[in-house]
Structure 1
Amino acid sequence: MKYADLHRNIKIRIITDFFTDLTQKSIIPFMAIYLSVQMGAGWAGLLLTVNIVSSMIAGLGAGYWSDRIGRKKMMVIAQCAQVFALFWLAAANSPWLNSVELTCVMFFLSSLSSGITIPIAGAMIVDVSSEHERHYVYGLQYWTTNVAVTFGALMGGLLFDSFRFVLFSLVFAESLITLFILMFFIQESMERTDSSQVATPIRKNMLKTYGSVLRDKRFMVFFTASVLAVSLEFQMDKYIAVRLKSEFSAQLLHWDISGLHMFSLIMAINTVMVALVAIPFSKWMARFQSRSIMTVGMCLYTAGFAVLAFSNWALLLIGSAVLLTIGELMYSPVRQVLLAGMIPDSNRAAYMAADGMSYNAAALLGSLGLTIGAFLPSYAMAGLYVIIGASALIFFRQSLKPLTGPSESLPCAS
């Protein structure tokens, strides 16, 4: 499998998503600091919570509608809103205008737009990809997303505080170019279905659609597994970062390193490994059975986080960072492949929107882990991580039962 062999929509989306992630991640991680300084931590937290909940609801609505009126139309509408929001975000932080209120409103609109776009873009990739291609596509997406997030955070760190207008102007320019590409180069990917399904009253039809998602036992088992697995990832910058800061200090190659230094080193190992080996690793994994990849990957992933939860030995922490990264490289793209294979064609975007809720639920569990960690010793947290990871693996394997036979394997990448 080669990049040139992919459908045009996928090739365009991978490129545009890279630059969108790059620019968005140069803003979003720093908005909490900006809002806390300007409004106070309480109001900032409330606004960010409202943004998250609103974008979740918008994503559910967008998933329903894009399954009925088409992917491209909804994406163009959302991108127009994004362009409008980013223009005024730049204006609100320009040399001619400095408005915290306008910044809050336009940041909210930008969050809504992103919430609309994400499930539709995911459904579009499933629309135009074959089962043979998806392992390569999701491996490539995983790589581009991680690289974009890393460089986006670096760009935001350099520009957000002192050159906010320049940063927002760059993000606006990228968004405008993406809108142009969506309008003139992206093709509609959804096959038209019987228009009678739109004739039912909207609220009743939407409730019926998501009611069927909730009644899909196999998907809900998969959803639960995703929440548990991703919640471990959200422990990294919460409980694990706090524990290392308060407990860890050591010498490594005659250098004194603090807990924050070790945390930065762990994150750097993860980033570099993903950037260097994600694509060839995903091609190599495609020859093995999905059940085997998921099992080994989740075991390594869980073991890595369990060690990070209690160890203060520098070399063991470094080894665990390598271990969990290998596990993440194994299970994460396979999870996307399996999701694409289990959702029905008629409600792809709705299922993608529902799956997106798993990340929000995992984020809440990640925050809860920090609270629990204040009362439990580190070895107990390590045991809790093992229970979470083992439970996720059991649920993943349970969701695979109708799909995977003894001899079925993921398609090979060529």
Structure 2
Amino acid sequence: MKYADLHPNIRIRIITDFFTDLTQKSIIPFMAIYLSIQIGAGLAGVLLTVNLVASMIVGLWAGYWSDRIGRKKLMVIAQTLQVVALLCLAIANSPWMDSIIVTCLMFLLSSLSSGITVPIANAMIVDVSSEHERHYVYGLQYWTTNVAVTFGALMGGLFFDSFRFLLFSLVCLESIATLFILIFMIRETMDKRALIHAKSSDDPGRSTRPMEALAPIHRNILKTYWSVFQDKRFMVFFTATVLAVSLEFQLDKYIAVRLKSEFSAQLFGSDISGLHMFSLIMIINTVMVALVAIPFSRWIGRFSSRSIMTVGMLLYTAGFTVIAFSNWAWLLISSAVLLTIGELMYAPVRQVMLAGMIPDSDRAAYMAADGLSYNAAALLGSLGLILGAFLPSYAMAGLYVLMGVGALIFFRMVLRKTEEQHQHLTCAEAS
């Protein structure tokens, strides 16, 4: 599999997503600090919560309508809103104007735009990729996202505090370029004639439908998502995702706090604190992803999804479990390597599983619902910080084992069900 062999939409989206992630991550992580200084920590927390909830709601709305009117139109609308938001953010933080009210409102508008774009862009990738391409596509996407996050954080650290106007201006220019690319280069991936003439089949138990039977126009948004959340296989997958991703959210919460308060050691003759060790763990994760993600995803593609998921989740869980309680520097470093390898294995397979199990008629709706799993995982990450204040580190490690093994069991249940359905379809075609 080569990059040039992919559908043009996928090639373009991977490039534009890289620059979008780069610019977004140069703003979002630092906006919380800025708002806390300007309006106080309490109001800043309320605003960030409102942004998150609003983004979730608009994402569900966008997923519903994308399956009915197509992908491109909504993506262009969302990107136009993003350009407006970033332009106003630049003006509101310019040498000629300094408005915290406009900044807050435009930050909300930017969050709404991102909420619309994400499930639709994910559905578009599924629209134009084959099953055998997806391991490579999601491995590549995983790599570009992590690299963009790293350089975005570096760019934000350099420019956000003292050169916000310049930063927002650069981000706005990138957003304008992305808008023109969407308008003139991205092609619609849904058959509009099928959208117009589609007839409904509201059977929530059906896991797949032919592409011609797209989303029924008359089924409202509540019925659509009721059908999604009645899909037992998807809900098992949803639960597995929450458990797996919540381990990742422990890293910058409970684990960071524990290392800061408990860890101190010498490494290469130098004293290192818990914060230094936390930074080293993050650097190991980032560098490994940047260097080996793409060749690694190609190499593991020769193995079965069940084997990759099993080994990956075991390594991932083992890494987080050790980091939850150990204060031995070399063991922590080894565990960081293990969890990164595990993440490189399980994360693309998870995306492939999702792409293969969702019905054609409700792709964007399922993608939007899947996005809720990350919000639930973030909530569990915060809960872990609270529990860590009362539980000893070895108890937290035991909890991580339960979460990781639980995620693996649920992922394997989904894989087994998918394999059984494929065998059933094969037998039916043969007969």
TM-score, structure 2 normalization: 0.92
Equivalent residue, structure 2, for 1:244: 259
C-alpha offsets along residues 303-331 of structure 1, whole Å, 9 cap, x if unaligned? 00000100000000000000000000000
Q: What is the aligned counterpart of 2:320 among 305, 317, 320?
A: 305
Indicate yes or no: 2:149 matched with 1:149: yes
Q: Structure 1 unaligned runs (5+)?
A: 409-414
1:404 positional shift: 2.3
Equivalent residue, structure 2, for 1:96: 96
Equivalent residue, structure 2, for 1:57: 57
Q: After the TM superposition, which parts of structure 1 deviate over 4 Å for at least 4 consecutive aligned residues?
A: 196-204, 405-408
Equivalent residue, structure 1, for 2:17: 17
Residue 379 of structure 1 aligns to a residue whose secondary structure is helix
Equivalent residue, structure 1, for 2:27: 27
The 5-angstrom pairing of residues 155-194 of structure 1 reads 155-192=155-192, 193-194=194-195
Residue 250 of structure 1 aligns to a residue whose secondary structure is strand
C-alpha offsets along residues 244-285 of structure 1, whole Å, 9 cap, x if unaligned? 000000000101000000000000000000000000000001
State the aligned residue count: 408
1:405 positional shift: 5.6
Residue 376 of structure 1 aligns to a residue whose secondary structure is coil
Indicate yes or no: 2:413 matched with 1:398: yes
1:406 positional shift: 12
Letter in 2 for 1:228: L
1:401 positional shift: 1.6
1:208 positional shift: 1.1
Q: d(CA) in 2 for partners of 1:402 and 1:213?
A: 17
1:382 positional shift: 0.3
Residue 419 of structure 2 aligns to a residue whose secondary structure is coil
Contact 2:318 2:335 in 1 (8 A): yes
1:191 positional shift: 2.4
1:339 positional shift: 0.4
Residue 186 of structure 1 aligns to a residue whose secondary structure is coil
Q: What is the aligned counterpart of 1:328 among 330, 343, 346?
A: 343
Q: d(CA) in 1 for partners of 2:420 and 2:147?
A: 35
Q: What is the aligned counterpart of 1:255 among 270, 275, 288?
A: 270
Letter in 2 for 1:45: G
Equivalent residue, structure 2, for 1:318: 333
Q: d(CA) in 2 for partners of 1:277 and 1:284?
A: 10
Letter in 2 for 1:22: L
Contact 1:291 1:404 in 2 (8 A): no
Q: What is the root-mean-square deviation of aligned Cα atoms in Å?
A: 1.7
Equivalent residue, structure 2, for 1:352: 367
TM-score, structure 1 normalization: 0.96
Q: Structure 2 unaligned runs (5+)?
A: 201-214, 424-431
| Percent of aligned pairs with the same amino acid | 79
Equivalent residue, structure 2, for 1:44: 44
Residue 401 of structure 1 aligns to a residue whose secondary structure is helix
Q: What is the aligned counterpart of 2:293 among 266, 274, 278?
A: 278
Equivalent residue, structure 2, for 1:412: none
Q: d(CA) in 1 for partners of 2:403 and 2:258?
A: 19
Q: d(CA) in 1 for partners of 2:301 and 2:234?
A: 23
Q: d(CA) in 2 for partners of 1:11 and 1:407?
A: 29
Residue 265 of structure 2 aligns to a residue whose secondary structure is strand
1:295 positional shift: 0.6
Indicate yes or no: 2:116 matched with 1:133: no
Contact 1:68 1:198 in 2 (8 A): no
Q: d(CA) in 2 for partners of 1:137 and 1:204?
A: 32
Indicate yes or no: 2:382 matched with 1:367: yes
Indicate yes or no: 2:402 matched with 1:387: yes
Change (3 A) 1:407 1:84: closer
